[in-house]
Amino acid sequence: MPITHLCRVQGASLSEHVEPLRLLLLAEDPSWEALVRKCLLPMGGSVILLCAPSWESVSYLFENDRNALLLTTPTLQPAPGRCRLPTVLLLDAEPETSPQDVSDWLVRSSLTTDVLRRCLRHVRERGILEYTLQRLAEEDPLTGIANRQGFQTLLAVRLAENDGRGMALGHLDLDNFRHANDALGHQAGDRLILQVVARLKSRLEAGDQLARLGSDEFALLIDTRRAPERAEWMAERIIEVLSEPYWIDGESLLLGCSLGIAHARVNAGADPLMWHAHIAMQQAKSTQGCTYHVFDERINRNARSLADLESELRRALRRDELELHYQPRLDLVTGTIVGLEALVRWRHGERGLLAPNEFVPLAEQSGLIVPLGYWVISRALRDMQALRERGLAPLHMAVNLSFRQFQDSQLLSTLSRLITERGVEANWLEFELTETAVMRRSDLVKQTMDALGRLGVRFSLDDFGTGFSSFVHLNSLPIALLKIDKSFVGGMENREENRKLVLAMINLAHNLELEVVAEGVETPEQLSLLRDFGCDQVQGYFISKPLPLAELVEFLTLGAAQ
Ligand code: C2E
Ligand code: MG
Ligand code: MG
């Protein structure tokens, strides 16, 4: 609890107000507290004094509080817009000019019970008046909750208080309210809205706020400071409660609703947040009944510019904006580097170096993965030759192949041509396939793999454990290596379960007479466990990150010299 103490001052009452006034004091110098407490003493139970180290530490206690005042020294005064309480500044000396952004100020030397009483009454009455005016302008007369204008004020305050941290915005639209309103009459329509609001309120908890943006549109501020998942929980609870039938004039009716949720981003402001919640609401609208949708920046960026990105990627291929980085693979028995994995990157003019997960899925969807895949193989073969020309020992070169590449009827002939043109021995080339890729259209995949195998190419099964493999099927494919996915390797030191799984995978691979590579090895502890388990090879940041060719040459030359 950040509040240093909370006490009710005993004695006579301050004024005609029944509810005690909550007075928050922010002052580093403890003499202020002593002075204020002394002045308050004769006012008694009508004032509750709270002392806190900062506004942020207690702001949650004053949400919607209309009966509170802030007393603060200039050093602790909340930044403009952060605090809605009427504020009285505590000054050590008479100011030369009137302080800004405060309701009043008090000077230490002239502070007495009487001065304080008058100041509090004045500020409080002014506050009540302002509040009444504001309420009339910002409240929905039917439901008593904030209207659109009120919502904008609420949102601005909430965003200013936490820079947008720990908050989500819900935008709710009732699907067929207008229809019901026309059919039942406006009075019944009003009663329906009151029921909707009562149901929504029944799901709100401290820190959440509700507003009516239009006749059948609502906004919800969801407090996610305790748990970011709260936004989704709330969405589910709201959908559940609104799906129940409504009873109007003895008749039951169902309303569909669409709820869009957007998580606020730090310092991003109100406009993008409202826009994102709105987009998510429209996405929810494409589904019948009561549904919610959470705004996903990634998907949305992709959705908006899928076509743009595709043509950019096409151009990138032509302009040679792709790069390969190579990650070395270490043999645990000999302690030497025995292979490399080629991993593609896109050096995008504006967005910097893009990782494969940002464009490979798009390339797969659009079919661009076929030309991209050829570019990767061709570049990997060229670099294999470059390494040989530098006198380095031959290494296995692993290239990732996606399922779509098998659908290309030219795969076999193009690969044979590329291998011959580059003059590399095919048995140093290895293709990595995922479980999902080999399981789809397995007859076609098997034929192509067999034919490539006859050229001397090896295959490995990538990301093992994350897909679904039938072992009978695996056995019938020409696979030489199994790569254990990094998600199993991570956490091996701490989780018994991971260790058991990895050991079981290694044993399984050895029983199938496959070599095993563990991916994503990041610590010496993982490496030594894998060695104890009999793993053949490892790959991961602990050995090296994926490196551009020039850095790889340096890495390999240094390693060879040691
Ligand atoms: P992958 O084949 O499983 O590649 C391993 C990924 O793990 C790489 O990510 C690598 O940088 C990362 N990694 C390696 N060691 C560590 C480690 O110690 N810790 C952690 N946390 N990560 C590590 P990257 O380069 O982002 O590639 C992601 C995926 O994109 C690859 O997964 C592969 O499936 C795909 N990909 C990459 N290049 C190509 C390509 O040329 N063609 C196709 N079809 N897919 C590609
Ligand atoms: Mg791979
Ligand atoms: Mg992998």
User: CB–CB of 356/344 below 8 Å?
Assistant: yes
CA of 436 to the centre of ligand 1 (A): 16
Q: Whose CA is nearest to atom 3 of ligand 1?
A: 463
| Substitution site in 376, 400, 406 for ligand 1 pocket (most atoms within 8 Å of beta carbon) | 400
Find the helix packing angle between 148-162 and 270-285, rounded to 10°. 120
Ligand 1 atom closest to Cα of residue 546: 11
For ligand 1, is residue 540 a contact (CB within 6 Å)?
yes
Q: What is the dihedral of CA 102, 106, 112, 114, to 10 degrees?
A: -40
**Ligand nearest to the backbone CA of 372:** 1
Q: Which of 270, 294, 290 lies closest to 280, judged by CA?
A: 294
Ligand 1 atom closest to Cα of residue 344: 38
For ligand 1, is residue 376 a contact (CB within 6 Å)?
yes
Strand partners for 339: 329, 396
Phi, psi for residue 255 in degrees, rounded to 5? -115, 135
Q: What is the pLDDT along the chain (562 residues), one digit of tens a residue?
A: 333 333 333 333 344 446 788 999 999 999 999 999 999 999 888 899 999 999 989 988 887 777 899 999 999 999 887 888 889 999 999 888 878 778 888 999 999 999 999 889 888 877 776 776 667 778 888 999 999 888 988 898 888 887 888 999 999 999 878 878 888 888 899 999 999 999 999 999 988 999 999 889 999 999 999 888 999 999 999 999 999 989 888 888 888 899 999 999 888 788 778 888 988 887 787 777 789 999 877 656 544 445 667 788 889 988 989 999 999 999 999 999 999 999 999 998 877 898 887 788 778 877 889 999 999 999 999 999 999 999 999 999 999 998 888 878 889 999 999 999 988 899 999 999 987 677 666 677 888 899 999 999 999 999 887 655 555 566 778 899 999 988 889 888 888 888 988 998 898 889 888 999 999 999 999 999 999 999 999 999 999 999 999 999 999 998 766 5
CA of 519 to the centre of ligand 1 (A): 10
CB atoms within 10 A of CB 28: 9
Q: How far is CA 238 from CA 75, 154, 266, in A?
A: 43, 21, 26
Q: What pLDDT does 528 receive?
A: 96
Rounded CA-CA distance 66/135 in Å is 11
Ligand 1 atom closest to Cα of residue 542: 18
For ligand 1, is residue 437 a contact (CB within 6 Å)?
no
For ligand 1, is residue 343 a contact (CB within 6 Å)?
yes
Q: What pLDDT does 470 receive?
A: 55
Q: Which of 36, 45, 40, 33 lies closest to 4, judged by CA?
A: 33
Strands 257-263 and 251-253: unpaired
| Substitution site in 313, 323, 343, 403 for ligand 1 pocket (most atoms within 8 Å of beta carbon) | 343
CA of 486 to the centre of ligand 3 (A): 7
Segment holding 141, helix H or strand E: none
For ligand 1, is residue 358 a contact (CB within 6 Å)?
no
Segment holding 215, helix H or strand E: none
**Ligand nearest to the backbone CA of 376:** 1
pLDDT in tens, 41-57: 998 888 999 999 999 89
CA of 53 to the centre of ligand 1 (A): 48
Rounded CA-CA distance 148/214 in Å is 7
For ligand 1, is residue 402 a contact (CB within 6 Å)?
yes
User: CB–CB of 415/380 below 8 Å?
Assistant: no
Rounded CA-CA distance 100/84 in Å is 15
Q: What pLDDT does 413 receive?
A: 92
One-letter amino acid for residue 78 of the chain: P
What is the DSSP annotation of 78-99?
PPTTS--S-EEEEESS--SSPP
Strands 352-354 and 322-331: unpaired
Rounded CA-CA distance 365/280 in Å is 23
Rounded CA-CA distance 338/331 in Å is 6
CA of 463 to the centre of ligand 2 (A): 7
Q: What pLDDT does 13 receive?
A: 38
Q: What is the dihedral of CA 537, 483, 370, 456, to 10 degrees?
A: 60
CA of 464 to the centre of ligand 3 (A): 8
| Substitution site in 519, 525, 545, 552 for ligand 1 pocket (most atoms within 8 Å of beta carbon) | 519
Q: How far is CA 417 from CA 178, 293, 411, 413, 424, in A?
A: 66, 49, 10, 6, 11
Q: What pLDDT does 17 receive?
A: 45
- The two tokens of residue 554 are 């340096």
Phi-psi region of 329 (alpha: psi -120 to 50; beta: other; left: phi over 0): beta
- The two tokens of residue 266 are 């730090």
For ligand 1, is residue 328 a contact (CB within 6 Å)?
no
User: CB–CB of 302/508 below 8 Å?
Assistant: no
Rounded CA-CA distance 359/347 in Å is 11
Q: Which of 371, 57, 380, 6 lies closest to 225, judged by CA?
A: 57
Rounded CA-CA distance 272/265 in Å is 9
For ligand 1, is residue 465 a contact (CB within 6 Å)?
no
